[in-house]
Every structure is written in structure tokens, then in C-alpha cells.
Structure 1
Amino acid sequence: MALRHAVLAALLVGDGGDGGDSGGRGEYSGYQLAKAFDIGVANFWHALPQQLYAELAKLEQEGLVAGRQVIQETRPNKRLFRVTDAGLAELDAFAAASSKPSFIRDDLLVKVQAADSVDTGPVIEQLEERASVAEAKIQLFGKVLGKMRGELDEEEFLRRGERVGPYLTCLRGLALEQENREWSMRVAAVLRERRAAHVER
């Protein structure tokens, strides 16, 4: 997977709110795209805002997205981007290609792996911080999912709601952060108990 695919997928659900005809496809400004990545897309693809702006420029040059200028009287003008037919074809080819299994590369796991031979005090603190960050993300995902559903309950939304793709990816993000929180809290408790037992010896 390349960053371009994540950008194209995010643009499909954007809504620039300027009333333009995007053929049923969403529009985002670069700023809105960066915010979308922060909330949803970052679950499966991390990118800095400057990387997103650079990728948008490349995609526009290649004809995979189209940009239009929006004149704003009280704020600086902005450009809104939408996926073109060529961009949809690129995404279609990407969706048809086989996916590689996911893997974890996490420095905190390396520290836990070495827990029998290092001072676990700092590791416990980092685990507790990880749990706290996960809890904040869980709360954010809950709000985002609720906003997507509107007045529908989850099962009804999954059956007939619009734009189910972003909802499903947010569900994955929610499950991941719930697992992060539970694992971090459990490991911190185990290491704290073993540390206390070692001091008492």
C-alpha cells in the first residue's frame, strides 16, 4: 500500500461543504484531509500534514484527483480536491490486489520483552501512559462513531447507512485502542506486582 491509496480513500468520504458538484464523491481541502487522517485514517496509515499536501499535488499532476479554487471573502481562499475517474480506477485496482498480513513493530513491546533484565519502573510508567492515550482515543472514536450513525443504532446503520467504509475502519480503530488499553493496564499491573515482590525479598 502507498500513501496515495490512503489519500484517495479519504477523499471519497470528504465533504468540503461548498455545494460543488463532485459527482457523488466527497471533497476535502488539504487541512480537512489532515484532520481526517488524525481521526480515522491514522488507524491504518500515518502521515504528516506536509506529506499529505505533497501527495495531493502529485495526485493532481497525475490526474487522479481534481482540485478547484474556492473564493472566501472573510478567510483565505482554499482548494478542494476530489477523486477523478482515473483515481477511482487506481483504487479499484488496489482493492483487487492481495493484501499483506499486518505486523506489529512497537518499541514498548521490546521493552516489555526485556522486562526480566531491566529496571521496569520507567516501563510501567510508559505502559500507564499508553493506557491513558488509548482511553482518550476510545472516547474520541465513540463520539465520531455516534456522529456517523446519527439517530440510527449501530446494526441499523451497518445495514442501510451511508458511507459504511469509514465507520467500519473506525470500529477497527476502536477495537485496537480498547485492546491497547487492556493489555497496557494488565502488563503494568503484572510488572508492578513483580517489582514489589522483588523489593520485599
Structure 2
Amino acid sequence: MALRNAVMAALLEGEASGYDLAKAFDASVANFWMATPQQIYRELDRMESAGLITARVVEQEKRPNKRLFSLTEAGLRAAHDFTAAPPRPGAIRDELMVKVQMVDAGDTAAVQTAIGERMAWAEAKIARYERMRARLLDGRTEQEHLAHAERVGPYLTLMRGLAFEQENLRWGERALDVLRQRSASVT
């Protein structure tokens, strides 16, 4: 998937500056897409050149002017076309999994530490996602939100990110248990 599709998804929330988009990536699409601010700004320039977005300049006192981006009709069509096309299969590229694959020939304690760190990262992300979920629901039940919200995509992707991190925790607990048992049986 191209970064432009993730930017279009973020712009469906409304007009945003590059800075706002970088924050939005961290707060709304980080559960399925990561990008640096530099990557986002480069992509915004390409998308503007391609006519997918338009920018307007907002003059600010005591701060540099900012550009606010929004999707054009061509951008909305491109978003529609993207959703209509079948997705390519995803692939996991995870350095921790390579380390786990090699644990029998490597430093088991270091791999266990890395798994523990991944679990701590997952716990922090789960807490953040739960805060995001509470903001999205805004006092409504999940059923009420899904029935009446203007957009359900952000909630559904948030639920996927939450499930992913919960599974990371379950896997980490199991992997650490297996490695501890193997270490105990060797000594």
C-alpha cells in the first residue's frame, strides 16, 4: 500500500496541515501505518502535484504560515478506487521474529529481554488505543457509535490495532514461558 492511501484516509477526517497529519498518523492510523513527518510532507507535495489534494495558506502571526490540505474530487475518486480494488496480501517484517527464529543459536536471555520489551510496548499501545476508543465513543456504547457515527472506519481499524497488540501480549507470554521452561530443563 502506498503512503498516499494512508494520507487520504487521514484527510477524510477533514482539512489538516502537514503537522496535523503527522500527529494524526500517530493518533489515528498508527495502529496500521507508520510514517515519519518527512515522509508525509514529501507525499503531500506529490499528491498536490497529482491533483489529489489542494492546499490553502493560512497566515499566522508570530509563526510561519501553514498550509492546510484537503482532498479534491480526484482525491476522493482515488480513495474510492483504492477501496474498490482487492488488497494485496500483507507481509510481516519484524526483526524480533528473526531473533526468536534464531534463539536456539543465540543469546536466549537477550531474546527474552527483547520479547519483554515488545510486551511493554504492546501494553503502552493498548492503553493509548483504549484512550482513543473512549474518545471515539464519547460516552456512547459501541453499538450506538457503530449505528450513528458519521464514519465507522476509524473505529474498526482501532479495534484491529487493539486486537493485534493484545495478541502480541498473549504471544509474548507464551514465548517467554516456553523459553523459561527450556532453560529450566537444560540446567
- The interval holding the TM-score normalised by the smaller chain is over 0.9
Q: Which runs of 4+ in 1 moved over 6 A?
A: none
| Residue identity in the other structure for 1:129 | E
CA distance in 2, matches of 1:141, 1:45: 14
Task: Give, in angstroms, the shift of residue 39 of structure 1.
Answer: 2.5
Partner deviation per Cα, 1:126-154 (whole Å, 9 max, x = no partner):
00000000000000000011101112111
Is 1:140 paired with 2:124? no
SS across alignment from 2:69: strand
Is 1:8 aligned to residue 5 of structure 2? Answer: no
Please say if 1:37 is aligned against 2:19.
no
Structure with the largest fraction of helix: 2
Task: Report the number of matched residues.
Answer: 187
Q: Indicate the residue corresponding to 2:84 in structure 1.
A: 96
Greater alpha carbon shift after TM alignment, 182-191 vs 47-56: 182-191
Aligned counterparts, 1:37-186, within 5 A: 37-186=25-174
SS state of the match for residue 155, structure 1?
helix
TM normalised by structure 2 equals: 0.94
| Deviation larger for 93-102 or 79-88 | 93-102
Match of 2:176 in 1: 188
Query: How big is the shift at 1:111?
Result: 1.8
What RMSD in Å do the two structures reach over aligned CA positions?
Answer: 1.4
Q: Which runs of 5+ in 2 are unaligned?
A: none
State the shift of 1:190 in Å: 1.6
The gaps in structure 1 that reach 5 residues or longer are: 14-25
Shift of 1:191: 0.6
